[in-house]
Chains A and B, each alone.
Chain A
Amino acid sequence: MKRIVEWLPALVVFVLVVGLWEGLVRALHVQQFLLPKPSTIVSVFWTDRHTLWPAGWYTFKEALGGFAIGSGLGILAATVVGRFRTLGTALMPIFIAANAVPIIAFAPIFGAWFNPISPRSKMAVAGVLCFLPVMVNTLRGLNSAKPRQIELMRSYAASELEIWRRVRVPTALPFVFTALKVASVLAMIGAIVGEYFGGSLNALGVLINNAADVFQFPLAWAGILVASLLGIALYSAVVAAERVVVRWAPDTRDA
């Protein structure tokens, strides 16, 4: 019951915005290529479900693959760099500089490397996008244990491995999940933008791109709706996992 009350304001705003959109498009006779009515988008979402939904699933798998590979490597790299401090001081400035590179610009290059039609080139884009935020945040988390906590563990004659397991890893978990939430969004962006540069015909990004090319804007919008729903689904899955793993944290419990 409390949940519903909390969600109510957002729901009201959502309904109002969609209603206003529908009303204004009708009242002002806005051309469909500028902005289709929400009702049109939803009806296309349903009538073209046999092409749209499998395309969404195809792209979702690419995003998921990139998310898993990029995040996994990010956590692994942070663990290694965190363990060997000199490696960290040598690599961190480079990683931070790399973080500022607009990685999406590499999409056509990945297409050349991995075959533009194959889902692997999209996974590569999504994976590279996910890697850095996960790596940087995990490393920050691993180094966030307070000096007193480490000192306390030393007083118990704890080994480095024990300090790692009992202090550093639990401290890092909230940081990791914050990064995974960002990465889940980036993965969908990476997969779809990757497909804009070419890909299998039954991929969502290709479908949106082609629909826009031939002025089938309601179909393009319906594709965006599919992408949004899948993006929200992936993000929600990470949030759900966070609730299970980081049960103890004061700020996720009440969220």
Chain B
Amino acid sequence: MSVVEIKGVTKTFAQGNVTALENIELELEPGEFVSLIGPSGCGKSTLLRVIGDLTPPTHGTVTVNGKPAHRARKDGDYGIVFQDSVLFDWRTVAKNIALPLEMLGWDRERRKTRVDEMLDLVELRSFADHHPWQLSGGMQQRVSIARALSFEPALLLMDEPFGALDEMTRERLNLELLSIWEKLGSTVVFVTHSISEAVFLSTRVVVMSPRPGRIAGVVEIDLPTRTAETRYTPRFFELVTKVRELLRSRGEHLLPEEEELLEADR
């Protein structure tokens, strides 16, 4: 059974009469790591929100874990991570991670055990009692990931989670995320506008094009291993080029600043 099934999804925004998504078809198998990539305005974040039932599609259906997206959200079937960590300043690191568990009605004992496990997973054990504003941006994002995974959702939705971080932190967190994903085996939908990040992390890269938001193509990623050195291998370059060409093929739709974005990634 697919974890996510998107059928004929179209999303239009009444304001400005914008078609954010047009006739999207996509299926995710259990354990897949799928990146959505494309220039700004291609609807990749909107698609993520439609999967999470945070915004309804205008047409089409989304099924998560075999249930309508709305039911899946009510059942807590997915965890979500945004670009800004969205941590609550009045809660400590441990309490932030415990938030979804509190809402699921877990008792104190069980929460404590799980939070400790999650703190170990993201290597923040010694920061349990710190407040978010005392942490660096990278650490905050690790807390956010720990929170999203704390209740073991089948699906992890990530909206440009490392977009606001510096390059070095980003690459380190890429490796960390991979090891977490391998350990837990969750299915991941990962929105990014970095080609190398998408290729490095994913089993599949879905390239999207803007106005209206469509799937321009899909690149299967067959990297044998993923380590810090993977980024220097010829296969990695080939795959990056493939994704870039797909983005380029819709180049006539790109705005100058989107061209720049693609150039910057080279």
Contact = CB atoms under 8 A, between A and B. Distances in A.
Consensus secondary structure, chain A interface: helix
A152 B86 contact: yes
B86 A158 contact: no
A162 B54 contact: no
Interface stretch (A20-28, A56-64, A143-151, A217-225): A143-151
B56 interface: no
A152 B81 CA distance: 8
Given A162-B103, A250-B131, A155 B86 contact: no
Given A151-B54, A248-B131, A250-B131, A156 B89 contact: no
A162 B79 CA distance: 18
A152 to B, nearest CB: 5
B-side binding surface: helix, strand, loop or mixed? loop
A141 to B, nearest CB: 13
Interface stretch (B70-78, B214-222, B232-240): B70-78
A155 B89 contact: no
B100 interface: yes
Q: Which of B74, B84, B89, B91 has the most CB of A within 10 A?
A: B89
A90 interface: no
B89 A249 contact: yes
Nearest to A167: B88
A156 B54 contact: no
B54 A154 contact: yes
A155 B88 contact: no
Contact of B73 (A149, A155, A246, A248): A155
Contact of A170 (B76, B78, B90): B90
Contacts of B74: 157
A158 B103 CA distance: 8
Contacts of B133: 250
A166 B99 CA distance: 9
A146 B86 contact: yes
Nearest to B157: A155
Nearest to A157: B74
A109 to B, nearest CB: 42
Contacts of A146: 86
A28 B95 CA distance: 65
B212 interface: no
A166 B49 CA distance: 22
Contacts of A249: 89-90
Interface string A220-255: 000000000000000000000000001011100000
B82 interface: yes
Nearest to B131: A248
A7 B131 CA distance: 27
B121 to A, nearest CB: 20
B90 A248 contact: yes
A157 B89 contact: no
Nearest to B95: A248
Given A151-B82, A155-B78, A162-B103, 16 more contacts: A146-B86, A148-B82, A148-B86, A149-B88, A151-B49, A152-B80, A152-B82, A155-B54, A155-B73, A155-B79, A156-B103, A158-B103, A166-B99, A246-B90, A249-B89, A250-B133
24 contacts: A148-B86, A149-B86, A151-B49, A151-B54, A151-B80, A152-B82, A152-B86, A154-B73, A155-B54, A155-B73, A155-B78, A155-B79, A156-B99, A156-B100, A156-B103, A157-B73, A157-B103, A166-B88, A170-B90, A246-B90, A248-B89, A248-B90, A249-B89, A250-B131
Interface of A: 146, 148-149, 151-152, 154-158, 162, 166-167, 170, 173, 246, 248-250
